[in-house]
Amino acid sequence: MSETTPQKFEFQAEIKQLLDIVIHSLYTEKEIFVRELVSNASDALEKLRHVQITEKEIFDDRLELEINITTDDKAKTITFQDFGIGMNRAELIENLGTIAHSGSKAFLKALGEGEKKNTALIGQFGVGFYAAFMVAKVVKVYSHSWRAAEPGQVWTSDGSGSYEIEEISGERRGSKIVIELKDECSEFSQEWRIREILERYSAFVSFPINLNGKRVNTVQALWLRSKSEITEEEYTAFYKFQAHAFDEPLLRLHFSADAPIAINALLFVPKENPEKLGLARAEPAVALYCRKVLIDPKPKNLLPEWLRFLKGVVDSEDLPLNISRETMQDRALVDKLAKVITRRFLKLLDDEAKNRPETYAVFYKEFGVYIKEGAALDATHKDDLLKLLRFESSLTEKGKTTSLADYVSRIAGDQKEIYYLIGPNRESIEAGPYVEGFKARNLEVLYCYESVDEYVMHNVREFDGKKLTAADHADVKLSDLPNLTEGALGKEETGKLVTWMKDALGDRVAGVKASERLVDSPALALNADKFMSPHLRRMMRAMQKDTPEAPLRVELEVNPRHAVIKKLSALTASDPDKAKLVAEQILDNALISAGLLDDTTAMVRRLYKLLETA
Ligand code: ADP
Ligand code: MG
């Protein structure tokens, strides 16, 4: 048969099945066909670049290495043209008519080792082209090989079982794919729609992409360039473009690695934490690319949850993507990717904390809550995350923080705990009765102001062999302080008072005892519940208003050195009724300090009674 008349071919039986899968189930979004055809065009140009190195004679040699896309919303067509390597008749049959045959993969195989490293071919599965049939009534591929002697060809198919090839003249080098759209897919002949798709998936393709004559991709895939060649302005511009951000990045991490998996990553910490403004939980935002082509803008299972504030790009050519590139199948490899990135980022934070503590403090103020979340939940990176935690303490100035390691380094003697207190702010913690006993003994107490702190402390449990311990818990035993007995109630009187108070307060207390920790306050309430701290109890109450709560169990400690307690002791003999009111008031005051007094009406009534007698 002459090659100038159309020749009809049946697709292989397997291709028919494959087409069916591609058209109906491989891709979740029809728009993906744009990404696939642009990727093929880019590959064709990349191959031409290689051919140009070794071959002297190239057909139509003066053409730009660019991709031109045109839409026609009247004719309902879209056309992808590249001036790449093109295909001759045999190549059209082999590449577009054979099952899962990737000409790109074959091309790569044929390259020498040195050249392989320098190519940026995208295709490798040999199915992307068929995505065109999701939206096409008819696909025509006009192609002219880079070899001048090979005539131009047009390949035509409706994707239903056969295709035709016919020789034509007048073609330029490369391929032109004309898609006549199905009626229900006419949106893809709209310029704005295609622009949007190109900006999403193909923004970083190396070759210029023009849509109806206008350049679409103007930002480079910065992550693949070497650090030394990139300016601060370029980084910032890239961040704003890629993350759709308006601020400037606070921190940046740009690295590449070959083992255990090939990665190029460019990550940013923004200036502001949107979750802090009360907005919804952030979605993961580090986009996953494979050779500059977007695979997933928000991969859910790539990085640990607590890294959801990061922006930027991870590109890996080794990705175990399935052929639709949309799902990551090999969990083990994805885990490797996650591990490399997380380690690098933790190292960056550690460096900042050590070498630029002011920058780290700014970061921590905004994003410390994620570090805490990680420390509590990410067992794999817990140790590194614990090192990054910061708290104010009874030994720091207001606004200055300490790390757990620094706390431990200051421990004198055989203290086996790291003490902390939870409270809304420094002032309220220091005004309460709990810190004074620790201060008097030179014991440092960490101050925790955030609602997650309690949860974090419970989960973390210990650091460097020291148990994290709430300073307001009844189990905390403090050593005797010298010189505390001066002017105090005697042992016997104190014993009597304590027994009397337990009796007077009845079920409201689990116990009453003389305190060794109190210095300036008359009394304090210690939480005797192992599992529920005062803070947690408050949160539970706020969340579930109607459920009956667990009865409160507090240990009341009284200060035998304090004037109020001494007076109370005298009052128990002279006016037992009034003494009972005073004892109840002391308990309520202690509960208020502990944040444990829920209903104040009884307290207010009693206070008036006491005032009457004053
Ligand atoms: P892949 O890109 O994964 O190899 P595709 O189904 O997308 O698979 O394409 C199959 C093959 O068809 C490609 O490998 C390539 O050899 C050839 N091909 C597709 N589009 C073009 C094009 N625009 N120019 C030259 N060759 C192309
Ligand atoms: Mg392809």
Q: At 444, give phi and psi (nearest 5°).
A: -80, 140
Q: How far is the CA of 121 from the centre of ligand 2 (A)?
A: 9
CATH 3.30.565.10: which residues of the chain? 7-215
40 CA to centre of ligand 1 in angstroms? 5
Domain topology for 391-471: Rossmann fold (3.40.50)
Q: Of the residues 15, 50, 104, which should be mutated to test ligand 1's pocket, given the most ligand atoms within 8 Å of the CB?
A: 104
Distance 86 CA to ligand 1 centre (A): 10
All CATH 1.20.120.790 domain ranges of the chain, comma separated, are 484-614
Which segments of the chain have a pLDDT < 50? 1-2
Q: Which ligand 1 atom minimizes the distance to the CA of 127? A: 6
Q: Which atom of ligand 1 is nearest to the CA of 126?
A: 8
Give yes or no for a contact between 84 and 49, defined as CB atoms under 8 angstroms apart: no
Virtual torsion, Cα 377, 380, 381, 383, nearest 10 deg: 90
- Ligand 2 centre and the CA of 127: distance in Å? 7
Q: What homologous superfamily is domain 7-215 in, according to CATH?
A: Histidine kinase-like ATPase, C-terminal domain (3.30.565.10)
- For residue 30, what pLDDT is reported? 93
Residues with CB under 6 A from ligand 1: 36, 40-41, 43-44, 82, 84-87, 95-96, 102-105, 123-129, 175
Please give the CATH number for the structural domain made up of 484-614. Answer: 1.20.120.790
The beta-strand segments (E) located in 65-169 are: 67-72, 77-82, 136-144, 152-157, 162-168
Task: Quote the ligand 1 centre to 121 CA distance (angstroms).
Answer: 10
Angle between helices 331-355 and 357-377 (to 10 degrees): 140
**Tokens coding 444:** 């440092």
CATH architecture of 222-363: 2-Layer Sandwich (3.30)
Output the pTM of the full model. 0.76
Residue 424 gets the label, from left (phi > 0), alpha (psi -120 to 50) or beta, of alpha
Which ligand lies nearest to the CA atom of residue 44 in the structure?
1
**CATH 3.40.50.11260 domain locations along the chain:** 391-471
For atom 8 of ligand 1, which residue has the closest CA? 126
Ligand 2 center to residue 308 CA distance, Å?
Answer: 31
Residues within 5 Å of ion ligand 2, judged at the Cβ atom: 40, 123, 128
- Residue 258 burial (CB count, 10 A): 8
Residue nearest atom 16 in ligand 1 by C-alpha distance: 103
Domain span(s) for CATH 3.30.230.80 in the chain: 222-363
CA of 133 to the centre of ligand 1 (A): 14
Residues 509 and 560: their CA atoms lie apart, in Å, by 18
Ligand 1 closest atom vs CA 101? 10
Give the model's pLDDT for residue 391: 97
